[in-house]
Structure 1
Amino acid sequence: MCGIAGWVDFTGDLTGERAVASAMTETMVLRGPDSAGVWLAPHAALGHRRLAVIDVEGGLQPMTAEESAVLTYSGEVYNFRELRTQLEAKGHRFRTRSDTEVVLRGYLEWGEDVVDRLNGIYAFALWDIRREELLLVRDRMGVKPLFHYPLPGGGLLFGSEPKAILAHPQARRTVDADGLREIFTIAQTPGLSLYKGMHEVRPGEVVRVRRTGLTKRRYWKLEAREHTDDLDTTVRTVRGLLDDIVERQLVSDRPLCSLLSGGLDSSALTALALQHGDIRSFAVDFAGYAEHFTPDEMRGSPDGPFVQDAVRHLNPDHTDTLLDTAELTDPRLRADVMRAWEYPQFSGDMNTSLYMLFRAIQGHSTVALSGESADEVFGGYAWFHLPRAVQAPTFPWLVVMMQKQRPDDLFSPQLREQLDVTAYEKDRYQEALAEVPHVPRASARERRMREISYLHLSRFVNMLLDRKDRLSMAHGLEVRVPFCDHRLVEYVFNTPWAFKTFDGREKSLLRAAVSDLLPASILERRKSPYPATQDPGYGKALRGTLSELVAGGTAPVLPLLDTDAVQRLLATPAEDSASTVTRLSMEMVLDLNAWLQSQALDVEV
């Protein structure tokens, strides 16, 4: 997958700035452990850290073509073979077998319009040597990250991760009020970052940087189209798309595996992959989780028994990764997760366990298939089906996730009043709602469910994709997400909600499309999110860490907290302060502190 970084400056000479460009690039050594490269010109510096997946020997970067353009690229283009054939027919000659060279020569042939021909997950920077202009491009669903930071005088810094930009001496390490609002909102706004002055390239966007300034263009976004297929045709079309998508995404010169949770999404991908040959699968579980599992409103069953059902039915080469509470609560591991993601959350043990799963896979596989985004595409989350969430004038997931606590519960009343996160959520919700494309003559129900789907595909899935990318790439693991293929997303987005729930269940279309591949237990299983530990010892350990943080008196998060609220929490019996609800509030304090500490950030509110 790789990591990219760079710097454009039209007022100076960057040919002597190798040390700075290298420092930016080397912040992403975990993303690209296989090789590194820096390319310099008077007004551009491009850096690359490589995770070699296709054409291990030949695909070194930054890659140049005929002294016309140079490319630093992260990701995979799954239709690169077809594009290569087209380009060869037009006279292009290739030096490598890599998809990187296909993108580069595609630009020489089609210019910026090459982006319309790409099927894949990618983020790249292309410097046109002749025109002295930079293109920053991100894939349609935003699977691969890309950030930029404008500089005075028209220059710009960019990187796959914020840490690459922050390594430059001209980048400020500051989080402002909007950055904190984004953290506490649990709805990621496209184009924003948590850092003052830094922006994220939007999914499906091209950013062009010239001497005359910076311009942005959306080359892809969801559009409304009349759905004319009947139900049977729709199910067949979904299956046909999935067959093609999975086959394309199995292309790799390095070992490939699947992430198997025992749910419909991951089991379907594993089954589809096995139609093309053997595959290894990995699952995560907590010690004693199944034996002591207690159902709640989010999770009705543990994953373990269903993983075993899938393994017995499909027969992949399977490995279970068993985690224990002691390691989950290790502050050093929390700090590692924060350095990798650079985004504080209040779901800490789920982030940490995912990081540990990817660490366990490292050394066995370099590429993994994940079921991420199937719930957003097919309508799998519980709040798609709860009237109070669907009808609420806000992001529907907040109605469920925030009903007992908010991420800022332990923060000072003055800060909460100043940030007014509820008003911020309302504004961002209205912005998102205004973007939704509608078809004429749709019923009120269909219009609303189209809005709910759009909110998930443009505001919710972003966080999950960022998390999976950053935590996997911290271990040199490329995670592919077949359900994010834009053809599938476009088709299902425009499918009536009545089709998506035709059997009275969530994800009806997906279930019907893969019904011949999976055992009945998995086809009938209700949606269960990624597991979270239920061990009361985990909450007690959080409480102990929070107590130490407060007693130390120097933690950067302390000036932001409601001291009385924290002291009341610590004064309650250990069992009460270890409850799931209280645990989430403590998670945010500890994660935010780890983030501020790891980045040495200034806070401006």
Structure 2
Amino acid sequence: MGGMAGWIDYQRDLTPARDIVATMAGRVAWRGPGGYGIWSSPRAVIGHHRLALVDVEGGAQPFVVEEDGRPLVVIALDGDIHNHRELRAALKGHGHDFRTSGEAEVVARAYLEWGTECVSRLDGVFAIAIWDVRGEELLLVGDRLGLRSIYYQPTPTGVLFGSEPKALLAHPEIDAVVEEDGLRDALSFTVVPGRSVYKDMRRLNQGHLVRITAGGVKEQRYWTLEAAPHPDSAARTAATWRELLEAAVHARLDVDVPVGVLLSGGVDSSALVALATRAIRERGGPALRTFTLDFAGTQTGPGLLQVSRDAPHAAMIAREFGTDHTEIVVDRAELEDPVLQRTMVAAQQDRPTPTSDFAIALRHLCRTVSSSAPVVLSGQQAGLMFGGALGMSDEQSTGSATFPWISFTQRRTHRSGIGTGLLAPDLLERLDLPGYCARRYRETVEAVPVLKGETGPARRARELRYLSLYGWHEYVTVFDTGLTQTAGLSARWPYCTPEMIQYCFNIPYDMKGADGGPLNVAAAALRDDLPEPILNRTPSPFPIGAGPHGGAAMRERLATLIKDGGSPALDLIDVAAARKLLDSPPRPERAWRDRTDIHMVLQLDAWLGGYRVRLV
């Protein structure tokens, strides 16, 4: 894992530009606290900050392959290549000699052996930049599911790239310009695949690669979901699902540092503990570390919040499997720490989010865990398998003409969406966020692959699963990867593998189990692994610690912002509505919604002012 930045220019001599790229890479240094390297030439400069997980001593980056003292390729890797040992063995059979045991060298030599076709051989979670010195060509590659970010922006004579927008924005020729669609993205509960909120800056789309030469930029898809018949029986389906999960867990334990699990006590994370514990014991390793987030006091809020507390269920699993368990109990006031709050936009890949409470709680958890276990397994992305995004179990939301999570939150917060309650009415009318999200929804549904003749409920079930991957997943990934990596933590999602997602995409929605009822694939697959109370627990979202009266510090910050009068966010908000909220006593039934609205204003202030954003 790590953070990278680079500058390619086909006309300018970049030999003296190391300091510029060093500054760009420095903006993402928090992603790689284990070491820094930079490589430069007249045409290319690449910097990399590394979190060392494999070959801790010898795997420095950027990695350079040389021949007779001349560089052939230079590589920067953010992520994990789970089949690096198998690829190493195959490449040795082709005559390659290795000088490290790291993953970056495996990718570099795979590229030398197979060219861009090497991408189809990589199994893992990665963002890769390869500078081919021989042909002066840059290759940027994202993994199949977009779990690692890489942003790029063409220039008149080359390209800039980096792990986060802030790396590109640190370049003296790049301004933070945001057009109306970018502002819509920043204020909506969605992310457009392949796009950032900044003008002309792209986020490499999942399953895509980009080739940059002196002739221009060419992006191409190398992987996508496919609709196919599902011949397996219910029993075979459950067994295959379990085999895929077990293989994914084993692959993600293959590191040279301690590994933990973020344990909620739900089926998804508990299954990871069961399978990881068994694998570690077989290797003779120490007890698995597990971590649970809980909050002091009462939690209240709308229906998208926790159904039940995680701590008791997590403790049950910790005892069952003998883990080294840590319960992280947080007081709501800790999450109102001004330093934490005012750096959230930077931790969210340089954009606001309407779901700020979730982001703050997750970041706090990751910062606490990273000092004990630099790698954690998480069940956070398990909902991708069967269309499990927010609102997917609500018929009114799934029957709407927009993304289910948009409909779900609109009906519980504001017509324009979560976090928009204090935005100026004329701004909301001009942006028309509901209409924008509905258009984005239609574009996504039109791209769903289906079987010939597939209609009705079967087609709709497939659409919902696709929306989970190419809508909800895109949004969650931007923030989950940003929030974990800025804490120097490598989060790994065993449920989120191309093999698992592809297999589940084609399981019939109406498949029956042994009892004649609808097949619960996870429950059927894990029946012998987990206690009954865990298997039967109602799914409960990530905790955010929403107390009935929280947010006093945020209210004070909003009052100061309005009083001072110099914030660029004031042009976007309804000042009268904000004053009315501040003058009214906190109401427990509105506490969560009000705090979300206030936090959006504070994020806009930090974003517009801190990044010198120019709205056009």
Pick from 424, 441, 456 the counterpart of residue 444 of structure 1: 456
> What are the within-5 Å matches in structure 2 for residues 428-577 of structure 1?
428-499=440-511, 508-575=520-587
2:436 paired residue number: 424
Alignment equivalent of 2:93, drawn from 70, 74, 89: 89
Distance 1:527 1:39, change over 3 A: same
- In 2, Cα distance between the equivalents of 1:597 and 1:482? 38
Which residue in the other structure is 1:47 paired with? 47
2:184 maps to 1:176? no
8 A contact 1:119–1:485 mirrored in 2: no
Contact 2:291–2:328 (CA<8 Å) still a contact in 1?
Answer: yes
Q: Distance in 2 between matches of 1:223 and 1:297?
A: 31
Distance 1:500 1:550, change over 3 A: farther
State how far apart, in whole Å, the 1-side matches of 2:505 and 2:608 are: 38
**Structure 2 equivalent of residue 395 of structure 1:** 403
* Contact 1:347–1:587 (8 Å) recurs in 2: no
1:259 corresponds to which of 250, 262, 277: 262
SS at match of 1:281: strand
Deviates more, 1:467-476 or 1:233-242: 467-476
Tell me the CA shift for residue 139 of structure 1: 0.4
Instruction: Determine the structure 2 residue equivalent to 1:32.
Output: 32
Residue 340 (structure 1) aligns with: 347
- 1:141-198 CA distance string (max 9 Å, x none): 1111100011123x11000011111111111122221111012221211011011221
Query: Cα 1:494–1:590, aligned 2, differ >3 Å: closer, same or farther?
Result: same
Q: 1:184-229 CA deviation, whole Å, 9 max, x = no partner?
A: 2212110110112211000111111011110010001111111111
- Name the counterpart of 2:9: 9
Question: Does the 8 Å CA contact 2:301/2:589 hold for their aligned counterparts?
Answer: no
In the aligned structure 1, how far is the partner of 2:512 from the partner of 2:105?
A: 40
- C-alpha change, 1:595 and 1:225, in structure 2 (3 Å) is same
Deviations 1:480-531 (A, max 9, x none): 1111111111101111112399989999212221221111111001111101
Q: 1:262: how far off?
A: 1.0
Moved more, 11-20 or 434-443: 434-443
SS in 2 for 1:499: coil
1:150 pairs with 151, 154, 160, which one? 154
Q: Which residue of 2 is the match for residue 409 of structure 1?
A: 421
Q: Which string of whole-angstrom CA distances, capped at 9 and with x for unpartnered residues, describes residues 39-66 of structure 1?
A: 1122111111111000011111111113
2:296 aligned with 1:287: yes
Match of 1:129 in 2: 133
Q: For 2:105 and 2:78, locate their aligned partners in 1 and report how far apart those are by CA, in whole Å.
A: 12
1:231 and 1:24, CA in 2 relative to 1: closer, same or farther beyond 3 A? same
Structure 2: tracts of 5 or more residues without a match? 281-286
How far apart, in 2, do the equivalents of 1:295 and 1:189 lie? 26
The residue aligned with 1:321 is 328
Do 2:242 and 2:526's aligned partners in 1 also have CA atoms closer than 8 Å? yes
Distance 1:499 1:37 in 2: 52
C-alpha distance in 2, partners of 1:369/1:513?
19
Partner of 1:594: 606
Q: Which amino acid aligns with 2:184?
A: R
The answer (yes or no) to whether the contact 1:4–1:124 under 8 Å persists in 2 is: no
Contact 2:7–2:159, Cα closer than 8 Å, also in 1: yes
- Residue in 2 that maps onto 1:202: 205
Which one of the candidate residues 367, 376, 380 is aligned to 1:372? 380
- Tell me the CA shift for residue 348 of structure 1: 2.1
Change (3 A) 1:297 1:257: closer
Superposed CA offset, 1:77-129 (max 9, x none): 00111111111111111111111111110000110011101110000110111
Q: Whole-Å Cα distance in 1 between the matches of residues 345 and 518 of structure 2?
A: 33
Question: What CA distance in whole angstroms lies between the structure 2 residues aligned with 1:99 and 1:500?
Answer: 43
Query: How far, CA to CA, are the matches of 2:522 and 2:505 in structure 1?
Result: 13
Give the Cα–Cα distance (whole angstroms) in 2 for the partners of residues 54 and 357 of structure 1.
Answer: 24
Q: CA deviation at 1:243?
A: 1.1
User: Is contact 2:138-2:212 (8 Å) kept?
Assistant: yes
* Aligned partners of 1:540 and 1:574 also within 8 Å: no
C-alpha contact 1:36 1:48 (8 A) present in aligned 2: yes
SS in 1 for 2:265: coil
Give the unaligned 5+ runs of structure 1: none
Separation (CA, whole Å) in 2 of partners of 1:91 and 1:503 = 55
What's the counterpart of residue 307 of structure 2? 300
Q: Hey, what's the Cα distance between the residues in 2 that align with 1:149 and 1:201?
A: 10
After TM superposition, the structure 1 = structure 2 runs for residues 184-223 of structure 1, keeping only pairs within 5 Å, are 184-223=187-226
Q: 1:403: how far off? A: 0.8
- Which residue does the alignment assign to 1:248? 251
Provide the rounded CA distance (Å) in 2 between the counterparts of 1:600 and 1:315.
Answer: 51
Residues 1:501 and 1:130: Cα distance change in structure 2 (over 3 Å): farther
Contact 1:378 1:509 in 2 (8 A): no
Q: Greater shift after overlay, 384-393 or 239-248? A: 384-393
Identity %: 39
Cα offset, 1:362, TM superposition: 2.2
Deviation of residue 14 (structure 1)?
Answer: 0.8
SS at match of 1:215: strand
Q: Partners in 2 of 1:588 and 1:502 — Cα distance?
A: 48
In the alignment, the residues of structure 1 paired with residue 133 and residue 512 of structure 2 have an alpha-carbon distance, to the nearest angstrom, of: 49
Partner of 1:538, secondary structure, is coil
- Indicate conservation of the 8 Å contact 1:337/1:352, yes or no: yes
Structure 1 pair 298–28 and aligned structure 2 pair: CA distance change class (3 A): closer
How high is the TM-score relative to the length of structure 2? 0.94
Residues 93 and 297 of structure 1, relative CA distance in 2, 3 Å threshold: closer
Counterpart amino acid of 1:243? E
CA–CA distance in structure 1, aligned partners of residues 420 and 475 of structure 2:
18
After superposition, the Cα gap between the structure-2 partners of 1:380 and 1:309, relative to the gap in structure 1 and judged at 3 Å, is: farther
